Structures are given as structure tokens and as C-alpha cells.
Amino acid sequence: MFIIRLNLLLVVVPLCAHLEGRTWTTTSGSKSEGELFEVVGDRIGLRIRGREYHFSIGRFIPADQAYVKQWMQTPRCGACSGTLGTRSVKAGKASYHTACFRCMVTRRNFGPGDRFRKDDWGGMVHVDHFSATGVCGTCSRIFPKRSAIKEQFFADGRITCGPCLKDGIFKLDLLHQVDKRIWPSLMEAGFDKPRGELELLLVDRGTLTREASKINASGNLRGLTLTKYKVVKGGNNPRTTFNHRIFVLYGLPYVECVSVLAHEHAHVWLNERFIEAPLPVTEGFCNLASYLVLQREKSKLSSILLENMQNSESPVYGAGYRMMRQKLGQAGWPAMLREMKGKASPP
């Protein structure tokens, strides 16, 4: 199963300052026109044709890396990332253009002593007006409810923002396309494709909860794997057959589906080998599969999901992931998979 805890509050506000566009060149020679809007660790955010992407800074030539270092040394607005001038205001550790320092609901500027909620995208809302906003269940983007469309409020109680809705997986054929995308990364790490029959299903929250109760699972689940097996002993053809069902919440954006399916396929891999271990080990291991595929994605959402896994307070999904991530860093994937196989207890 796959569970995620989101602690970030995100929002989009109009840009009030133009960011400098430039041609970015990768070490392989590919070129793209884009605007640098943030630097997070060793990843940079580029806005290309209106969409936001995240790339490893090491992907680009030295001249671009030098530009990033210079960009970071310039004081910038905490909302729009534009260069700060004389008309700015400081709040906490960040500074803002006066035009950016406003509530997204009322569009009024904050005054001295006002309390507000801020997200990692630079958006802000006064605490008194937070009830007039929705929070995306995937990226935690805050948006005014008055600007939302009805499709952003799912029948099972979930809420999504406009960008995540646009990338949502609502049809089974799209889920199969996502499934195909993750396998090159999984196989490169050493995962084998399932030996048994496997069915992918898109379901609502109620169905996922009911299916999860069959294995006493609960929580903010995004995906679930149920496996049945049959052992045939003796005769001319002794064997074990498997039947897997992977349930995925409908409407998750593409990048989150990539993460969820990778996690669930790791469960399938464990189930076919009858690997038994404490939950922090198994769920932490399955989160490593999510980590593997999210690293290959180039969206800001992938960076957010990676950060959420790393910072999760869950003793199973968070602490388990950090423990297994440390082991992976020390041993690598081949040794990690061998260690997990050593925990097998076949019937």
C-alpha cells in the first residue's frame, strides 16, 4: 500500500516581476529557453513555456551553473522570485515586493501584525480568510474556492487544485501508460516484472478503504496491493501461481501516479518472493521504489513528493523510508535486493 503525509501549503499568485529568460544548455548539448524561479538543494526550478520543471543543477554546463550561483546572491521576492528593489517589505526570513505581499482571497496587502499562511510557491492567505480557500490533496496548493470549478471537489471528499486536476489520471488506459513509464527505471535497479497475473484498478476513496480493511490497513492511502497465491506441490508441474490487484485512487496527477505505482509494484515484488519483515522495512523499501522513479521526473511536484517522504513523521512510511534510504546509499540496489530476498519465507 502507499500512504503519503503532506505538510506543505502551496499556492500560486500572479507574477508581479518579470524573471530573466535565458537559453539553458545541458551537458549533452540540448538547449531550452526558460526562466529560473527557484533553487532547492541541488535542483533548480525552470519555467518553460508556462510550465514549471525541476532539474539537477549538474545537468547543465558550467556557465549555467555559474549563473545559478549569481542568481542566488541577488535579493529576491519570496512570492514571485523577481529582483527586489526599494519598495519591499520583510516578513519573517523572507522579503517581498509590496505588491506581492497580499492575501490571495481579498487581494489586500497585509498590515503590521497580520497573521498569514504561506506556501512554498510564494502564495499567502490571511488566517482569517483561510476558510475561503481549498487545499490540494496532492501538492497542498491553496486556491480560492470562488475561482475553482466543481470538478476540483471529488465526490469522495478529496480536493484538487487546477494544475493537478489537469494532469489527473481518470481513465484506465492512462493508468496503463503511467505503468509502462516506470518499468525502465525499476528494471534498471534490478526489479523483475510480475510472474503472476496483475490487474490495475482506478477506484474512489471508499472502495480503497474497504479493500484496505481486508488486510487491516488504514490511513491516507493512495494505493493498495492485494495478492492471492496458490501452491501446487508434487506431480509433474509443481509451481506457485499469483494473482495481484493494484488499486489506485482515481484523479491523482500523473507524477503522483508514477510514485504510487512504483511503490505498489515493489509490494508485488515482495509478495511473489514471500518476503516478510517489519512494516518500517517493507514500506520503507517500497518507498525506495517511489524515490527511484520520482528522481527521474522533471516536475516541481516530484521534488515536493520526495521532500514529503523525507520529512514524513510516520514511524512506518517516514522513519522506515529514511532507514532504508540510508542502507541503499551504503549498499546500492543489487545488495539491497539481495538483502530483501534473504528475508523470504516461502510456504
pLDDT > 60? residue 105:
yes
Pull the grid cell for residue 73.
546572491
pLDDT at residue 94, rounded to an integer = 86
252 compared with 38, residue with greater pLDDT: 252
Residue keyed to cell 518500517: 280
Closest of 242, 250, 243 to residue 223, by C-alpha: 250
Closest of 227, 220, 259, 219 to residue 246, by C-alpha: 227
pLDDT > 70? residue 14:
no
Closest of 223, 219, 249 to residue 313, by C-alpha: 219
Q: Return the CATH architecture of domain 88-166.
A: Ribbon (2.10)
Closest of 236, 233, 173 to residue 200, by C-alpha: 173
245 compared with 99, residue with greater pLDDT: 245
For 93, residues 6+ apart whose C-beta sits below 8 A from its C-beta are none
21 compared with 143, residue with greater pLDDT: 143
Q: Return the CATH architecture of domain 18-73.
A: Roll (2.30)
Pull the grid cell for residue 280.
518500517
Q: Give the residue-averaged pLDDT of 2-9.
A: 39
pLDDT > 80? residue 7:
no
Summarize pLDDT for 129-182 with one digit per residue, the tens.
999 999 999 988 999 999 999 999 999 999 999 999 999 999 999 999 999 999
Any idea where the domains of the chain sit in the sequence? 18-73, 88-166, 172-341
pLDDT at residue 87, rounded to an integer = 82
DSSP string over 307-342: HHHHH---TTTHHHHHHHHHHHHHH-HHHHHHHHHT
Q: Give the residue-averaged pLDDT of 266-289.
A: 97
Indicate the DSSP class of residue 344.
B
pLDDT > 60? residue 198:
yes
pTM metric for this prediction: 0.83
pLDDT at residue 217, rounded to an integer = 86
pLDDT at residue 42, rounded to an integer = 84
pLDDT > 50? residue 341:
yes
Is residue 149 within 8 A of residue 160, CB to CB? The reply is no
